[in-house]
Structures are given as C-alpha cells and as structure tokens.
Amino acid sequence: MNEFLHQEQRISITNGRKTFYALVSLFFGIAFTILIATMGIASYFVSPRWLMQPAGIGTSFGIFISGLIFLVVFSYYGNRMNLFWKIVSSIVIVFFLSYFVVYATKVWLEFDSNRTLIIFGSLLIPGIIMIAAGLLGYFEIIKIEKLTFIYWILFAVYIVTTIVVFVTIFVTSNSKTLLTMSNFYSFLIITIVFVSTAIDFYLLRKKAESFETTVDKKELVKEALMFSVSLFSNYVQLVLQILRLFSFNKN
C-alpha cells in the first residue's frame, strides 16, 4: 500500500512538472505567434513613413509608455496579481515587445534590399542563442553562483558603457567610432541576455522541482506566465540587438 502511494505521489509530481513545462512552452509559443502576426499585419498596414510622422510617433510613444507601465508592474507585482490581470498584463507586454520589433524592422531596414533575409536571421539566431543558454542554465553546466556573479559584472559594465556611449554621441561625430561603440553595446547586451536566460532556465527547473503532490492549477498557470513572458522578453531583446547589428553594419 505504501509503495502504491509513493508511486502515485511520484506520478503526480511528474505530471505537475510536465504540465508546468508544457504551459511555459505553450505561452511562449503563443507570444511568438503574436509577434509573427503583428509583423505580418504591420507589413501591410504600417509604413516607415507613417512611423516617422506625428501620428506614428504619437502612437509609438503611447504604446511604449503603456507597455513600459505594464512591464514594470508585471515585474514587481506579478506574483501578487490574480490570474485574470496576469493574463491581461502578459498580452499587453507581448504586444508591446512585438511592436518594438515591428518598429525596428520598419525604420532600420526601410531601404535594405536584403530585408527579408535579415529579418529571418534576426528571428532565427536569437532562438539558437536561447537554446544554448537554456542548456547551460538548465543542466547547470556553470554553477548558478558563478552565473549570477558574471551577470552582475556584466551589468556593471553595461551601466558604464551606457554612460560612455551617451557621452561619445555628444563628443564625437566620427562614424567609425560611433559604429564601434554601437556594436560593442549590442554584443554586451546579447551577452547579458544570454547569461540572464541561462539563469531563467535554472530557476525554471528549480520551480518545476518545487511542485508537490497537490498543485494549485491557477498557481501553475501564473508561474508559467511569469517565466514565459520573461523568456519572450529576452528573446525580443536578442532580436532587436541582432537586427541592430545587421542594419547598422550593412555597408
């Protein structure tokens, strides 16, 4: 009898973990679908010229502010939200991030003859980077303590680099210097996101392992939403930086 109960408990835990992983994958897939759909719709209804006009600038600014508010609230109060508001916030954030990609592809690649190829590469390469980061973090190839230490070192470098780039823009007009700084900045962000994604996958595994026999379905969905939005945010950041590298170094 005890063996049967222990076996049932293990099955229950396994099902909870599988459900959690499945939900994270599902929500990330939905977010990616929204991204592709937004890009597809925008390709027909949004022009680079409109984005640079007052109406387009105002719309972009409104979306940016709204998305930023939801992103901040979601980051700090997501765990306290009920399921309904967490879903609403997730949808708004995904649309907000998707619009960023649309804006970048429209403005940065307006006259690029290789636009389709660049967009394809900018969507594919981040996926490969995230797979590598996921393997690194999930299997803890590098200990989480070291990853966290590396992350904070990189973040400190990011702060310093941001200041240097800001000053450089006003100090010099040399295009090569500005391009070099821009490239370094993009590679730095890509590295930070890579490490951050590895940490997220480590935390994802730990969260899945924390589920016990009795799993609150709502809590399961809420946690899956948090992780999927975080991973999608990382993905979009990678997409934007790859797009930036391609578009700024095309000549």
Q: What is the pLDDT of residue 11?
A: 38
> In this structure, which amino acid lies at residue 102?
V
**Is the predicted pLDDT of residue 191 greater than 60, yes or no?**
yes
More confident: 206 or 218? 206
> In this structure, which amino acid lies at residue 98?
S
Instruction: In whole angstroms, give the CA distance from residue 251 to residue 47.
Output: 23
More confident: 222 or 192? 192
**Is the predicted pLDDT of residue 8 greater than 70, yes or no?**
no
Q: What is the pLDDT of residue 112?
A: 66
Instruction: In whole angstroms, give the CA distance from residue 11 to residue 3.
Output: 12
Q: What is the pLDDT of residue 37?
A: 94
Structure tokens at 115: 């636009």
Structure tokens at 5: 């109960």
**Is the predicted pLDDT of residue 10 greater than 50, yes or no?**
no
Whole-prediction pTM: 0.89
Q: What's phi and psi for 112, nearest 5 deg?
A: -85, 125
Instruction: In whole angstroms, give the CA distance from residue 221 to residue 31.
Output: 15
Per DSSP, the chain holds a count of helices (H) and strands (E) of 8, 0
Task: Report which DSSP code applies to 46.
Answer: -
Structure tokens at 158: 């990011």
- Going by pLDDT thresholds of 50, 70 and 90, the confidence category of residue 212 is low
**Is the predicted pLDDT of residue 174 greater than 90, yes or no?**
no
The DSSP string of 212-242 is -SS--HHHHHHHHHHHHHHHHHHHHHHHHHH
In tens, the pLDDT along 66-78 reads 888 888 888 788 7
Cβ burial, residue 6 (10 Å; 0-12/13-18/19+): exposed
More confident: 249 or 25? 25
Q: Kindly provide the residue ranges of all beta strands, DSSP E only, lying in 145-198, ordered along the sequence.
A: none
